[in-house]
Amino acid sequence: MVILFQSERALKHLLEHGFVYTVRLRKRKKDECYDWVTDRRGGRKIADVYVCLVGGCGSTLESWKLNLWAWVDHSGFKTVSEWINEILRLNRGKPRQAWIYLVRLREADKE
């Protein structure tokens, strides 16, 4: 399987810092797994990563705001509002159930 990063800010944070917290509107099949990253459907592999479920984020804007504040410093965004706006833009819609994942570069695991 692959994990897609269409948000340039989140991908940049991952590549510069070795990890990023990301929100997904679909729960992945496995809570923890090794995977690889690309920035577009059918795109080339950018990096190998380890993906780990952090927890549920809720299904309303209010629950997203409450649950995302702890992770925003390592999301690639300056504020929770910026992060939520990007999630909504990329997913074309209003909030629904979401999950927070930690994505870590495999190279960072070797250090």
Q: Residue 94 has what pLDDT?
A: 75
Non-local CB neighbours of 75 within 8 Å, separated by 6+ positions: 10, 13, 20, 21, 22, 68, 83
What does CATH list as the number for 2-110?
2.30.130.30
Minimal CA–CA distance to 73: which of 8, 3, 2, 19? 19
Q: Is the pLDDT of residue 107 over 90?
A: no
| Domain locations in the chain as residue ranges | 2-110
Q: Residue 29 has what pLDDT?
A: 92
Q: pLDDT for 41-96, tens place per residue?
A: 889 999 999 999 999 999 999 999 999 999 999 999 999 999 999 999 998 877 78
